[in-house]
Amino acid sequence: MLAKLFKRKPAFEDSVNAEIEKYFSEYKKYINKIDNLLPSYKDVSYEMFYDILVRFFRKVYDLPASENHHHAERFGLFVHSLETCINALVAQHRKLELKIDSNGDLDSQFNLRNKEKILYRTAIQGLLHDAGKVFDMDIISKKKEIQWDNYDDNLLDFCLINGDYDIKWYKERTGKHEKRNIIILWQILETRDRQYLTAYNFIRLIDEFWGYDPVETTKELIKDADILSVQMDYQESLPKRENKDEVYNIIEAFSASVAEMTDKRILKINEKVSDLIVLDTITLIVNPLAMQKILGYMKKHYQLKTTREHIVKLMRDKKIILETDTGKTFIHALITPPESVNNFKLNFVIIKNKYIWGCNKPENFKGKVRIPDFDIEETDNTSSNKEKSHSEKQPKISQDKNIYLETSKKITEETSGEDKKTAQQKLYEYIKTQKPKKFDIFLKALALTLESETTLQNIEHIKIDNQEYFIIGYKDGFREIAKHTGIFNLKDDEKEQNKAIHGFINSLYDSGHLAKFKEFEEKPLIPVKAKREYEKAILIFKNSIS
């Protein structure tokens, strides 16, 4: 305002204004939409809001909206804020058109009295919904190594004086910006804005930013507008049509990223502070921290950009993750670390193990996990699940018996012969009487197979460093055991057979019956050279077989 008192503006202010005009011209399509969505007498709303836009742009300038998530490019925060503002105004217009009075009639008087003020409040809230992100990072100029004062200084001014900069994002920042948005609100709003809003709307605005629950809340409306902007950014990064192959590419890239990040120790597993918690049949991925790490890795190494909401939707549609009966996919669980009595609650995306680990599932979490939505409770590899209907619950022994007993009735042509039938009968008698776990069933089947006079092509004995093992060739060795004992149906397609094989491997690995070699990163499937050469095989301790 003081600059208007001078015949000539200071040179620095000329540079600031030139930069603002340059980028406001570039983002004119957004600004024009806001103009159209802020109707008022003599266009007062838009003229005042334009000044807010200028102050906001000067504050955030070319900051990205996130490190590896949506709008991660320069000026991303400004564009995302404009999009959210527009989306919120569109939704608010629709809401106000349907405002009902106490008699159940459309309240036209309400619209006449208060509409422009409510829209002005909505525009401010949409624009500043992520403004607190300026406190999520350190900005340091490249040439002069001067740090930006994100509280008192404007980033545009800082860049004009100090040049380009590097960003260092804080690691522990998730959700903090929402509490700090009000700082920027207080800096950017002037007295005339507060007076224009009137006390009623200004108090509502403060309530929203503080997280109170006012009567006319727009919190959900802003949240939906925010998500829509994120989805718009994602859609722009995709080809025009997303075919089935592209969907699978995204899912496969996600699964591969989890496995690779685990191998590289980028993701922490089963620790007191973890990114992933592995159970018998499911893996819990911490949301949003671990999910954002994975999406960032996908973008960098697979050139695939997506959002948490989108990847979760794709995996839900393919039944890769768990969801509640109400469709909820972000699930809360209570975690009790090993040797601790205290638990803490975290939000997770829960994915089925077979889609990320295959045969290389890590050991189970040694603490206690309770997932109330599914009535799942697991402690030290022992699961207790009361809800029978859910497909991912650990099957009870009676269910395991039914599976194998049913298979015994379907003795295939390959298993003809009196000795082979006897082996099957012995195995199912064992299942009936002993109530064994999955690894016990396999070890019993292996023992019966070794006792037979059958020549085995993919199973053999080996001694390494005075320790004796049985080598089971991957797939073919398991099929030899199935042919002899019927532990799975050889008439099933390859996918179902692989599923059964992986289940046995995971159970054997978790129960400590497989050899683990550091030179192979303790993975269950390793290359072995004995009488013949195995590209992949498991080594079972000889003393595991009774």
Please answer whether residues 38 and 45 qualify as being in contact, where contact means their C-beta atoms are separated by less than 8 angstroms. Answer: yes
Least confident of 25-34, 244-253, 502-511, 518-527: 244-253
Structure tokens at 432: 């009936």
Tell me: the pLDDT tens digits for 59-75?
989 899 887 778 888 89
d(CA 54, CA 183): 17
pLDDT-based confidence at 472, cuts 50/70/90? very high
Query: Is there a contact between 408 and 486 (Cβ–Cβ < 8 Å)?
Result: yes
Q: How far apart are CA 132 and CA 184, in angstroms?
A: 7
pLDDT of res. 476:
92
**What residues are paired with 379 via a beta bridge?**
368, 382
Percent of the residues in the chain that have a pLDDT greater than 90, as a whole number = 10
- DSSP string across 291-310: HHHHHHHHHHHH-----HHH
- Each domain of the chain, given as residue ranges in start order, spans 2-237, 244-385, 397-544
> What's the confidence (pLDDT) of residue 241?
41
Give the model's pLDDT for residue 538.
Answer: 93
How distant, in Å, are the alpha carbons of 65, 131, 282, 283, 288 from that of 255? 26, 33, 13, 12, 17
Query: What distance in Å separates the CA atoms of residue 366 and residue 116, rounded to the nearest whole number?
Result: 58
Among 40-54, 202-216, 497-511, the range scoring the smallest mean pLDDT is 202-216
Is residue 371 over pLDDT 60?
yes
The interaxial angle of helices 418-434 and 476-485, nearest 10 deg, is: 90
Nearest to 216 by CA among 388, 92, 373: 92
In terms of C-beta density within 10 A (0-12 exposed, 13-18 middle, 19 or more buried), how is residue 427 classed? buried
Q: Is the pLDDT of residue 441 over 80?
A: yes
| Local confidence band at 363 (pLDDT 50, 70, 90 cut-offs) | confident
State the Cα–Cα distance between residues 53 and 327, nearest whole angstrom: 38
126: three-class secondary structure by DSSP: helix
Which pLDDT belongs to residue 470? Answer: 93
- Does 411 score more than 60 pLDDT? no
pLDDT reported for residue 104: 54
Considering only residues 270 and 389, tell me which one the structure prediction assigns the higher pLDDT: 270
Strand intervals (E) in 388-513: 459-464, 467-473
pLDDT in tens, 202-217: 888 888 877 665 555 6
Degrees to nearest 5, angle at CA 113 with 107 and 116: 105
The stretch 24-44 carries a mean pLDDT of: 85
Residue 150 and residue 170: Cα distance in Å, rounded?
Answer: 14
Contacts of 542 (CB under 8 A, 6+ apart): 461, 468, 469, 470
pLDDT band at 98 (very low <50, low <70, confident <90, very high): low
Average pLDDT, the chain: 78
Cβ neighbours, 10 Å, residue 113: 11
Q: What are residue 217's phi and psi, to 5 degrees? A: -75, 140
Query: In the predicted model, what is the mean pLDDT of residues 124-147?
Result: 87
**pLDDT category of residue 359 using cuts at 50, 70 and 90:** low
Q: How many CB atoms lie within 10 A of CB 210?
A: 11
Who has greater pLDDT, 159 or 426? 159
More confident residue, 27 or 392: 27
pLDDT at 486 over 50: yes
Q: Which of 157-161, 193-197, 508-512 has the lowest mean pLDDT?
A: 508-512
Work out the number of other CB atoms within 10 angstroms of the CB of residue 244: 7
| Joined tokens for residue 17 | 């204004």
Distance CA 515, CA 462 (A): 12
Query: Which two three-digit tokens encode residue 118?
Result: 């409510």
Q: How confident is the model at residue 80 (pLDDT cuts 50, 70, 90)?
A: very high
Query: Once rounded to an integer, what is the mean pLDDT over residues 351-372?
Result: 81
Q: Which residue(s) pair with 352 in the sheet?
A: 282
CA separation for the pair 122, 120 (Å, rounded): 5
- In this prediction, residue 436 carries a pLDDT of 79
**Ordered DSSP codes for 252-285:** HHHHHHHHHHHHTTSS-BSSSS-SEEE-SSEEEE
| Single-letter amino acid, residue 541 | F
pLDDT value at position 416? 43
Residue 51: name the closest of 63, 59, 40 by CA: 59
Distances (CA, A) of 311 to 231, 244, 247: 11, 14, 9
d(Cα 48, Cα 120) in Å, to the nearest integer?
A: 9
Task: Answer yes or no: is pLDDT of 459 > 50.
Answer: yes
Q: What distances in angstroms separate CA 490 from CA 137, 404, 429, 486, one per listed residue?
A: 58, 13, 21, 8
How far apart, in whole angstroms, are the C-alpha atoms of residue 345 and residue 368? 12
What pLDDT is stored for residue 171 in this prediction? 79
Which CATH class for the 2-237 domain?
mainly alpha
Average pLDDT over residues 141-169: 87
Under the banding of pLDDT at 50, 70 and 90, the label for residue 54 is: very high
- Which one is predicted more confidently, 338 or 77? 77
Tens of pLDDT, residues 168-198: 888 776 667 778 888 888 888 889 988 888 8
Percent above pLDDT 70 for the chain: 81
Higher pLDDT, 35 or 273: 35
| pLDDT value of residue 51 | 92
pTM higher than the cut 0.85 = no
Predicted confidence (pLDDT) at residue 8 exceeds the cutoff of 50: no
Higher pLDDT, 234 or 523: 523
Q: Residues 81, 129: contact at Cβ < 8 Å?
A: yes
